[in-house]
Chains A and B, each alone.
Chain A
Amino acid sequence: MLGLLVAGWLNQSAWAQSDPTGKRRVTSTYAITNATVFKAPGDPGSKATILIKDGVILGVGSSLTLPKDAKVIAGDSLFVYPGFIDGAGTMGISKPKDVERPKDFVSSTPPDEVAGITPWRMATDSYSGASTLVDDWRKAGFTLSQVIPDGGMLPGKTALVLLGEPKTNNFLKANAAIAANFRSSRGMYPATLAGVMAKFRDIYQNTALVIEHERLFASNSGVKRPQASPTQTAFMPVVQKQLPVLFTAGSELEIRRAIALQKELGFKLILTGLEDYASVIDVIKSSGTPVLIKLQVPDDKSIKSQKADGVTEATKAQYARVKESYDNALKQAAQLEKAGILFGFSTTDAKAADVQKTLKAMISNGLSEKAALAALTTNPATILGVSSMAGTLEKGKLANLVLTTDTLFKEETQIKHVIADGYVFDYEIKKKSVKAEATPAKSEAAPNGVQVEGVWEYTSETPAGSSGGEITLKRENGVLAGNITFDDPSGSGKASAPIKNASLTGKTLSFEFDVAAGGMSLTVTISGEINGKNMEGALSVPQMGSFPVKATLSSPSQAN
């Protein structure tokens, strides 16, 4: 509720306050220097500096004068893109309380509230920027989202929210669209899809009549006063074509049905949640409806579980059909691009951790990188009516940026920072296997006779003192594996852990292992150069840093 937001609000006044948590940022001015900047989809990328202040981009260029209060983020090895925009999602939205059924409840004529018809409800009332889902999506690069309230067939009005500092007022627009879908009510009218469509028409037509009635009342005397219901009042901007309807339609038939309603009644329509839409691309195109497709591809569990041997011809034919359907599903986004349809993404029901995987699947099935980026940025900005404020990196626009370690959509690219509403969020970069040629765990015999298999004794110098243990390495079926012992963080003795992601590239050995400490699991990385029987390198612990490590091969194994 609104109250919650007020309670957590940071005082936005010009004069600063003391903050005993020490968490408040020291400045609202940042300069990302000398990064490779992609201002908009299709931009080949060029070195530039971006200056932002108070959530606004003050400049993008190569020769900007940086103010003294600008905190510098060294962008030399970074790539900057406009912050991603979620066309429609439910992150941060909590379920509203169930409405109590009145004592005289009749299931054939239920009150609108009980039947899930609540177009007056505002997403802002049930949104919290502090939700972990918001954190997850921000981590995936999203900086702006249109959030849909939870409810029935007309759950309420959507809001545009910035995924910035949760304690501030993040609402860019409190009233962006009227959400609609084909969800029916349980045990009352409308109980089915057919009922929902009839009810939608009924609400529309009667709202139009109430508008007419109000007009009459305003212009003539002696007219019975109009009594618009809350539903009708909330629905008026739709009939007056001032507010679009954001209709959730996942399947081809749902898409057709939503567009049919639009053709019949004439309201502004945006479709969201599209999942299966290949066969209706021409219908979408001719209706001129912008769409937000689900940022998810079908899971490949069934494809993976298809057996190669011991299956009948009939089963093989079934497998082929499922595979065909799966492949076609991945090609859909590319077909939208080809048809020239304006489309963005919807995060509803999608997983933030799968974003890159999903985008890569679409790209390897025909979607151009330019179109993918556009669907993440400029397209949704247009669809949501905020293209003057967001979608590209330009002076004057909102400070929403994504900073990555490499160009987007590459296998190893990771997101290092996300700036939303001018607030900077940092993320840990995982060190993957260094070179592309060193395919870890699959390399054949050690190159150049570098001895790696055997038992190594190691010591590491940490601020807490010296620690050590044994590293046992063995090659099995071409895969380098083994385990490591170390001082048990909980106190006594030695703990042991299996080695993960081990690889040997030239003379450099690197591997990871997990340490359980204080209820958490940390992934520790060791990387070092081998010279004969000695190894020297570094041991790094996340959020703590790197420490020198030395090891000696005490028992080389015979096999090598």
Chain B
Amino acid sequence: MKKHFYLLVAFLGLGVGMSHAQIQKGSLLIKNATVLTVTKGNLESSDVLVQNGVITQIGKNLSAPAGVSAIDATGKYLMPGIIDAHSHVGLDVVNEASAPITAEIRMKDVVNPTEIGIYRALAGGVTVSHAMHGSANVVGGQNATLKHRWGTEDPADIIMHDAPRTIKFALGENPTRVHGRGNGIQPRSRMGVEAVIRNGFNEALQYKKAWEKYNLAKTQKGNTLTPPAYSERLQTLADILDGKIIIHCHSYRADEIYMLINVIKDFNIKKVVFQHTNEGFKVAPEIAEYTMGASVFADWWAYKMEVYYSTAYNAAILQKNGAITSINSDSAELIRHLYHEAAKTQRYGGLTDEEALAMITINPAKQLGIEDKVGSIEVGKQADLVIFEGHPLSSYAVPQMTFVDGVKYFDRKADKDDQRLSVAATEMVEPIFLRANEEAHRCMQDVDKYFEAFQGAFFVNEKH
């Protein structure tokens, strides 16, 4: 059996560059690193063996099976691939901002695996990102969990097909501005936001009932009941009520967070993660008790009224109150240094190394429902790994190599500078993007195109 196993391993170990359509899985041995497992403590001078994309062994003095190359990580740190629970990188569309509920929208439809932001995220150690619908709508579209397998042209190659379904909700200033103040459609106030959500869920219950009734009747002889209209929008809301989809809710103010917690209690929904949630700290006990936690910024505040009364200690307070807490970027710029953002919880709140690292690994994995697959260095998990020069929580840390499923996708020393996958045949002058705020912060992208005329101040200064 053992011999068989090694032969199999040897055979598999050879294969890294495979056919276009298949997902690449690699094998390698990382030697002599300080391994930060996140869930099972830190291991000095240890090795991690990866075979066919899976971590198969962690220990000291491991030997590489035939055909498996070794990487000397002496003096370096190895941590799990970083997971960003709020991103818009790799999406051609962010906001279908034309209706307050657009649950039928699928971000998987608009994934673009050639966006350079994916490589730049890899260069910051991020291996998984939650590619989300924007925050223009109360109920946005269904998100896509992506694995950063850079270099492919096929969107299917970077979508994490076995990740659970998630959907974007948004409360507060963004939907009320887009729909109420911008277009005369509910909601215009936070009262309206709650009404829209409750209306949506109730309509979904009715929809569900109508279809159940029809499906039962159509098998009966002499049935005269006709099919109700099909609505993927309402069907998706019904799926949320049936616990099939995790709600990720963009929110800021404590009162609206509390409002949603009451709504989900009324509808018996358990799977909710609050996003941004700058005032989450004011209702930390409730978030801890009733939800799958919060995914927050390290220190962004004051760009809107609803984040004016924030604190950089938000993550620390949530963590100490027992809420699953993660740190996200919501930005193509910030995603490149999430390890640094997590480290800020040590300045603002004195969190331990383990607590801080968990915020960008196992905690977001839990919030995305993929904690059995990624988020820590444990035998059996997918080999999403990052090698750091310097401890990741040091401001001077520099990521060196990033692996997804055991395949190296980022190598600081070996990668060529120009990583663009394709270049336009007619490009005369390469575009230069200067301090392009609209490039980095995309939560409200596509909304400006949607409005023919809007206040200049809103557009220019808007971040989220």
Contact = CB atoms under 8 A, between A and B. Distances in A.
The answer on direct contact between A and B (beta carbons under 8 Å) is yes
A194 B227 contact: no
Nearest to B101: A108
B430 A195 contact: no
Interface in B414-438: 418, 420, 422-428, 430
Interface of A: 106-109, 185-195, 197-198, 201-202, 205-206, 209, 212-213, 216-217, 220-224, 226, 252-253, 256-257, 260, 276, 279-280, 282-283, 298-299, 301-302, 305, 317-318, 321-322, 324-326, 328-329
Interface string B182-213: 01010000000000000000000000000000
A310 to B, nearest CB: 15
Contacts of A283: 154
Interface stretch (B104-112, B117-125, B268-276, B379-387): B104-112
Closest A-B pairs by Cβ, 3 of them: A108-B99, A189-B98, A298-B425
Given A198-B105, A202-B232, A220-B223, A191 B422 contact: no
A197 B106 contact: yes
Contacts of A325: 422-425, 427
A325 B422 CA distance: 7
Contact of B451 (A187, A190, A301): A187
Contact of B423 (A194, A197, A321): A321
A79 B207 CA distance: 67
Contacts of A226: 226
B107 A194 contact: yes
- The A interface, classified by DSSP as helix, strand, loop or mixed, is helix
A305 B428 CA distance: 8
Given A108-B185, A213-B226, 15 more contacts: A187-B98, A191-B97, A194-B105, A197-B110, A198-B102, A201-B104, A202-B231, A206-B230, A216-B226, A221-B224, A302-B428, A317-B418, A318-B430, A321-B423, A324-B423
Nearest to B133: A194
Given A216-B226, A302-B428, A317-B418, A198 B423 contact: no
A237 B66 CA distance: 59
A209 B93 contact: no
Contact of B98 (A188, A213, A282, A305): A188
Contacts of B226: 213, 216-217, 223-224, 226
Contact of A206 (B110, B222, B229, B450): B229
B150 to A, nearest CB: 15
A302 B427 contact: yes
12 contacts: A108-B100, A190-B96, A192-B95, A192-B446, A197-B110, A198-B96, A198-B106, A205-B230, A209-B227, A212-B227, A223-B224, A280-B153
Nearest to A302: B428
A191 B283 CA distance: 36
Contacts of B110: 192-194, 197, 257
Contacts of B430: 318
Contacts of A216: 223-224, 226
A202 B230 contact: yes
A202 B452 contact: no
Contact of B109 (A188, A194, A329): A194
A325 B423 CA distance: 6
B141 A194 contact: yes
A151 B96 CA distance: 20
Given A197-B109, A326-B425, A107 B230 contact: no
B155 interface: yes
A201 B21 CA distance: 25
A321 B226 CA distance: 59
A210 to B, nearest CB: 9
Contacts of B96: 189-192, 194-195, 198
A194 B93 contact: yes
A445 to B, nearest CB: 41
Contacts of B107: 194
Contacts of A205: 230, 232
B20 interface: yes
A329 B96 CA distance: 32
Contacts of A213: 226-227
A342 to B, nearest CB: 22
Nearest to B136: A191
Contacts of A301: 426, 428
Contacts of A328: 425
Contact of B93 (A189, A192, A223, A329): A192
B92 interface: yes
Contacts of B427: 302, 322, 325
A207 to B, nearest CB: 10
A233 B445 CA distance: 36
B294 to A, nearest CB: 27
A301 B426 CA distance: 7
Interface string B319-351: 000000000000000000000000000000000
Contacts of A220: 222-224
Nearest to B429: A302
Given A107-B185, A220-B222, A222-B224, A194 B98 contact: no
B98 A107 contact: yes
Given A106-B185, A187-B452, A301-B426, A256 B154 contact: yes
B243 to A, nearest CB: 23
B149 to A, nearest CB: 15
Contact of B232 (A190, A201, A223, A253): A201
Contacts of B446: 191-192
Contact of B112 (A198, A221, A253): A253
A202 B99 contact: no
A454 B183 CA distance: 77
B426 A302 contact: yes
Given A191-B98, A194-B106, A220-B222, A298 B426 contact: yes
Contacts of A221: 224
Residue picked from A187, A193, A195, A301, most chain B C-beta under 10 Å? A195
